[in-house]
């Protein structure tokens, strides 16, 4: 993966597969503590304790097309390369929380990339799910984008509309740059 936004897209497809209807995404810049945090919490089916233990092993997956699953293992590796860590919490029937703790100044830290493109692809495909995205720079400012608000503004025009897709892609990207800067 070339940047964090691609990891984000990948991890969110896990939430979708787990039947999540609401996904909370936070990307938080904490300059004072030299940290970049990306977290996703969903209300999907969750994982059993057994599966949670082995989920960052590339040879465990729920997919049926092949026997390897690289999404979480790749994210975990990236976090650890920077000196950070990946925290996973999950409860069957409740949901899952993925928290990537990344060292901001590490030379191995990937750039954030364009989260707008990642989220626009998801929002326009999974039009009946809700995504709440929060960018924050601790001690400075924050921005929240909520598909429930967008859906009500659109008044029946589907989120899959191509104009909406391109608007969201650009809008989310601008909010990201505005809050996090070009990191």
Partner 1 sequence: MKSMEELLEIKNKAKVDMSARNQSGKRIVVGMATCGIAAGARPVMTALVEELKIRGVNDVSVTMTGCLGLCKFEPIVEIIDADGTKCTYIKMDANKAKRVVAEHIINGRPCEDLSIASANI
Comparing CB distances to partner 1, the nearer of 10 and 80 is 10
In 31-77, where do the E strands start and end?
A: 35-42
Least distance (Å) between residue 32 CB and partner 1 = 27
Task: Map residue 64 onto helix, strand or coil.
Answer: coil
Least distance (Å) between residue 131 CB and partner 1 = 14
Comparing CB distances to partner 1, the nearer of 29 and 173 is 173
Q: Which residues bind partner 1 (CB under 8 A)?
A: 1, 6, 9-10, 13, 17, 63, 65-66, 69-71, 74, 117-118, 120-122, 124-125, 149-150, 153-157, 160-167, 169-171, 174, 178
Crossing angle for the helix pair 115-125 and 162-180, to the nearest 10 degrees: 150
* Residues linked to residue 29 through DSSP beta bridges, in sequence order: 36, 137
Comparing CB distances to partner 1, the nearer of 28 and 177 is 177
Least distance (Å) between residue 167 CB and partner 1 = 6
* Residues linked to residue 98 through DSSP beta bridges, in sequence order: 40, 88
Q: What is the largest CA-CA distance in the chain?
A: 46
CA 69 to chain centre: 17
User: Which residues, other chains included, contact 66 with Cβ-Cβ below 8 Å and sequence gap of 6+?
Assistant: none
User: Which residues, other chains included, contact 109 with Cβ-Cβ below 8 Å and sequence gap of 6+?
Assistant: 36, 82, 102, 103
Least distance (Å) between residue 9 CB and partner 1 = 6
Comparing CB distances to partner 1, the nearer of 30 and 77 is 77
Tokens of 108: 């191995």
Comparing CB distances to partner 1, the nearer of 34 and 148 is 148
Least distance (Å) between residue 130 CB and partner 1 = 16
């Amino acid at each position: 993966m070339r940047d964090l936004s691609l990891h984000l897209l990948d991890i969110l497809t896990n939430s979708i597969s787990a039947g999540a209807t609401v996904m909370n995404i936070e990307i938080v810049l904490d300059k004072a503590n030299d940290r970049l945090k990306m977290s996703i919490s969903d209300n999907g089916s969750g994982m059993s304790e057994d599966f949670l233990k082995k989920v960052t092993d590339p040879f465990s997956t729920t997919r049926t097309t092949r026997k390897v699953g690289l999404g979480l293992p790749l994210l975990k590796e990236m976090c650890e390369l920077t000196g950070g860590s990946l925290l996973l919490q999950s409860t069957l029937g409740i949901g899952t929380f993925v928290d990537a703790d990344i060292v901001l100044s590490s030379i191995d830290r990937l750039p954030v990339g364009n989260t707008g493109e990642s989220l626009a692809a998801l929002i326009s495909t999974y039009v009946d799910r809700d995504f709440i995205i929060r960018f924050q720079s601790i001690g400075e400012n924050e921005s929240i984008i909520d598909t429930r608000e967008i859906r009500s503004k659109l008044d029946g025009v589907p989120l899959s509309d191509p104009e909406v897709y391109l608007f969201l892609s650009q809008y989310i990207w601008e909010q990201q740059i505005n809050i996090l800067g070009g990191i």
